[in-house]
């Protein structure tokens, strides 16, 4: 018994009574008030609830039905919330009809370089600027990012262009400084199962872009989202960014299946990062188009004015003119699937 649907006429007293009973059994609740009905999500290991106990809850005053969810994720599940989740970030709506494009360099390198890139991607139609200030690099000797200085540059760029900022958090100890500057906090693929970090970002009302781990299943991605949501933060964006397979022709294998699968299993917005998915700039355009055609709510694309001089991921970064051409082509694909861009 994991979801309790209340009668439209359920009173506050009846709801309190139900919540108290659940609390006694050690369960936390998430109460979501819809336009017609209120639904109580029961959080915790509900598998220990017997059929008899479940029936007892179903017969409490104010209760219409009780649904048991067999999936291990609940708040992220479409069974819990059937309508698509949408939320606003600045002037933009994530998860709505409009496809959101987050573009920018892999890493923040300097103020002038970022501003240049931001102006170019904005002109082409991007709605967010991306860029890492804390970079998860495979080698400890590679450029690790500018840290808080990079965050300040992102904030200045937002001021000058109006583009909201997407940037990665790597360590829960950086939460205060990241909250100060970011509009969307990214959790990178390598940290998808950093549960301490997931719990931390779940405590705030700040959208989280959660990237699929390099070897994570779709179920594991949804469980990671559940970690964030169970803390109270419902603004989670799922991001397919390619997974490790036996294939060596590309950096990763972009799992396009994940888009419709995630949309079916979850109400959360889904975006795709073809840059990391492919690992080479020549594949970014076709994979972006495929992602939009398959139902993605957004794209995250690495763009750099001088890819050959980029401090990270230059080989998969589009030059502004290529990005501009792609955005033009994406308009037609979006229109074909009833979306705008």
Interaction of residue 276 with ligand PEP, rule CB under 6 A: yes
From the list ligand PEP, Mn ion, none, partner contacted by residue 2 (C-beta under 5 to 8 A by kind): none
- The dihedral over CA atoms of 170, 172, 176, 177, expressed in degrees to the nearest 10, equals -20
From the list Mn ion, ligand PEP, none, partner contacted by residue 189 (C-beta under 5 to 8 A by kind): ligand PEP
The only residue of 62, 145, 150, 188 in contact with ligand PEP, by rule CB under 6 A: 188
Closest approach, Cβ 56 to Mn ion, in A, equals 52
Closest approach, Cβ 147 to Mn ion, in A, equals 17
Interaction of residue 165 with ligand PEP, rule CB under 6 A: no
Closest approach, Cβ 105 to Mn ion, in A, equals 8
Binding site for Mn ion (CB under 5 A): 106, 313
The residue among 136 and 260 lying less far from ligand PEP, judged by its C-beta, is 136
Instruction: Dihedral sign for Cα 178, 181, 184, 188, please.
Output: negative
* Gap between the Cα atoms of 50 and 44, Å rounded: 14
Number of residues forming the site for ligand PEP (CB under 6 A):
10
* Gap between the Cα atoms of 285 and 326, Å rounded: 6
Closest approach, Cβ 276 to Mn ion, in A, equals 6
The residue among 71 and 250 lying less far from ligand PEP, judged by its C-beta, is 250
Interaction of residue 274 with ligand PEP, rule CB under 6 A: no
Total residues found in the chain within this entry = 341
The residue among 66 and 133 lying less far from ligand PEP, judged by its C-beta, is 133
Closest approach, Cβ 239 to Mn ion, in A, equals 12
The only residue of 95, 132, 307, 320 in contact with ligand PEP, by rule CB under 6 A: 132
Buried/exposed 259-281: b ≥16 CB within 10 Å, e otherwise: bebbbebbbbbbbbbbbbbbbeb
Q: Is 93 exposed, middle or buried (CB count within 10 Å of its CB: 0-12, 13-18, 19+)? A: middle
Contacts of 87 (CB under 8 A, 6+ apart): 93, 94, 95, 207, 234, 235
Closest approach, Cβ 61 to ligand PEP, in A, equals 49
The residue among 183 and 313 lying less far from Mn ion, judged by its C-beta, is 313
Interaction of residue 106 with ligand PEP, rule CB under 6 A: yes
Name the residue with the smallest CB distance to Mn ion: 106
The residue among 107 and 198 lying less far from Mn ion, judged by its C-beta, is 107
Span interacting with ligand PEP, options 13-21, 44-52, 117-125, 187-195, rule CB under 6 A: 187-195
Distances (CA, A) of 239 to 59, 116, 180, 320: 40, 26, 23, 23
Closest approach, Cβ 338 to ligand PEP, in A, equals 28
The residue among 10 and 89 lying less far from ligand PEP, judged by its C-beta, is 89
Interaction of residue 136 with ligand PEP, rule CB under 6 A: yes
Interaction of residue 211 with ligand PEP, rule CB under 6 A: yes
* Gap between the Cα atoms of 172 and 21, Å rounded: 34
From the list ligand PEP, Mn ion, none, partner contacted by residue 119 (C-beta under 5 to 8 A by kind): none
The number of beta carbons lying within 10 Å of the beta carbon of residue 112 is: 10
Closest approach, Cβ 47 to Mn ion, in A, equals 39
Contact footprint for ligand PEP (CB under 6 A): 106, 132, 136, 188-190, 211, 241, 273, 276
């Amino acid at each position: 018994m994991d979801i309790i649907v209340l009668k439209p006429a359920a009173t506050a007293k009846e709801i309190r009574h139900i919540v108290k009973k659940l609390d006694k059994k050690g369960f936390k609740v998430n109460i979501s008030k819809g336009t017609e009905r209120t639904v109580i999500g029961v959080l915790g290991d509900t598998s220990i609830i017997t059929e008899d106990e479940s029936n007892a809850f179903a017969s409490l005053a104010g209760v219409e039905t009780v649904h048991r969810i067999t999936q291990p994720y609940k708040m992220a599940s479409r069974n819990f919330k059937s309508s698509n989740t949408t939320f606003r970030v600045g002037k933009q709506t994530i998860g709505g009809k409009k496809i959101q494009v987050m573009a920018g360099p892999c890493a923040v390198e300097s103020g002038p370089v970022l501003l240049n890139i931001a102006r170019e991607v904005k002109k082409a139609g991007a709605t967010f600027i991306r860029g890492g200030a804390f970079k998860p690099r495979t080698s400890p000797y590679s450029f690790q990012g500018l840290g808080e200085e990079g965050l300040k540059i992102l904030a200045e760029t937002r001021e000058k262009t109006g583009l909201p900022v997407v940037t990665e958090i790597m360590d829960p100890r950086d939460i205060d400084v990241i909250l100060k500057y970011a509009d969307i906090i990214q959790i990178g693929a390598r940290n998808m199962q950093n549960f301490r970090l997931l719990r931390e970002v779940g405590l705030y009302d700040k959208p989280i872009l959660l990237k699929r781990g390099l070897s994570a299943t779709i179920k594991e991605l949804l469980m990671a989202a559940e970690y964030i949501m169970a803390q109270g933060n419902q603004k989670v964006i799922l991001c397919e960014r390619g997974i490790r397979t036996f294939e060596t022709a590309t950096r990763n294998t972009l799992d396009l299946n994940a888009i419709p699968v995630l949309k079916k299993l979850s109400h959360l917005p889904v975006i795709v990062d073809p840059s990391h998915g492919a690992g080479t700039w020549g594949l970014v355009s076709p994979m972006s188009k495929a992602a939009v055609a398959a139902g993605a709510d957004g794209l995250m694309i690495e763009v750099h004015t001088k890819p050959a001089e980029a401090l990270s991921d230059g080989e998969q970064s589009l030059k502004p003119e290529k990005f501009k051409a792609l955005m033009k082509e994406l308009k037609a694909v979006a229109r074909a699937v009833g979306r705008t861009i």
